Every structure is written in structure tokens, then in C-alpha cells.
Amino acid sequence: ILNVEQSPQSLHVQEGDSTNFTCSFPSSNFYALHWYRWETAKSPEALFVMTLNGDEKKKGRISATLNTKEGYSYLYIKGSQPEDSATYLCASEGAAGNKLTFGGGTRVLVKP
């Protein structure tokens, strides 16, 4: 059974500051790691899908790294803006089975 954990559960960031948070997942039976950005009352938005150890992906001011050997991924937000306020979800996909196992999310609030 996959157990995906995210920390912290929530964080407050001052506008303009950079921040990062963690997703940990079992490294055995790993296939891919997905990151989503989820605003209230909207669809979770796919940010990244990462598969290879050492992978780094970037989308605007948001980037992510992946360590499959130790089972963690970091998501970074550079120069946070109020529109970055959302819950960031990670999900592990095991052995190309399609089923995603989600962490509990990190709720980010960017204060102007």
C-alpha cells in the first residue's frame, strides 16, 4: 500500500518570498510522481509529471525536483504572488498502473 505524505500541511508566505515544500512517497514500486495545483471550486490543475531520479521540471515560477531513491520530491515557488495561493497536491503512480495515490496537500497562502 502506497502512503504519500506532504509537509507542511499549510504555510503562509509573504508576497515576493520564495518557498518550498515536500512530498514523500514509497520508493519501491514507483513509476511516476504527479504535482497538481488546486484552487477552491476549480479543477485540480496538472503541473508536472516526473519519472526519472534527478528530474527537474519548471513552469514559470514553479519548479519541482525528484529523488526516487529516497522517495521525495520538492516543489518550489520563486517570488510568490497572491495568485499562487492554492493547495498543492502530489500523487504517486505505481508501476504504470494509472491509479494515483495522493498526499494530503500543502495549502499555501500568499499574503500581499
Binding site for another protein (CB under 8 A): 4, 31-32, 34, 36, 41-46, 49, 51, 89, 91, 96-105
9's grid cell: 500541511
Does a cis peptide bond (omega within 30 degrees of 0) precede residue 44? no
Shortest distance (Å) from residue 101 CB to another protein:
7
Separation CA 44–CA 1 (nearest Å): 24
Q: Compute how many other C-beta atoms are within 10 angstroms of the C-beta atom of residue 100.
A: 17
Shortest distance (Å) from residue 15 CB to another protein:
27
Residue type, 95: A
Nearer to another protein, 28 or 96 (CB): 96
Nearer to another protein, 17 or 95 (CB): 95
